[in-house]
Amino acid sequence: MTHLGEYLEKKAISKAAVSNRTGISRSRISELANNPATHLKAKELYLIALAIDVEPHEMLKEVFKEVTLLK
């Protein structure tokens, strides 16, 4: 499971509902939630955040929490 999948699960959000509200196919949502090799596009993240009524930056921090600057 990806960080996006964990985030949606933690928020108890149905992938089918996200698909219906965003226009992103159910198979794409499922791939984004389950396949770590799949790359989440900025537009997809923004649409999903709008659909689940969270601030995009909040979701961005959670989904990409392992991304940091070099020291």
Angstrom distance (rounded) from CA 54 to CA 49: 5
The per-residue pLDDT for range 1-38, each reduced to its tens digit, is 999 999 999 999 999 999 999 999 999 999 999 999 99
Angstrom distance (rounded) from CA 45 to CA 29: 11
pLDDT at 55: 97
Taking residues 39-63, what's their average pLDDT? Answer: 96
pLDDT category of residue 42 using cuts at 50, 70 and 90: very high
What values do phi and psi take at 13, rounded to 5? -110, 130
Claim: this prediction has a pTM higher than 0.85: yes
Which three-class secondary structure state does DSSP give residue 70?
Answer: coil
Token pair of 46 as six digits:
């923004």
Contact 18, 29 (CB under 8 A): yes
pLDDT category of residue 65 using cuts at 50, 70 and 90: very high
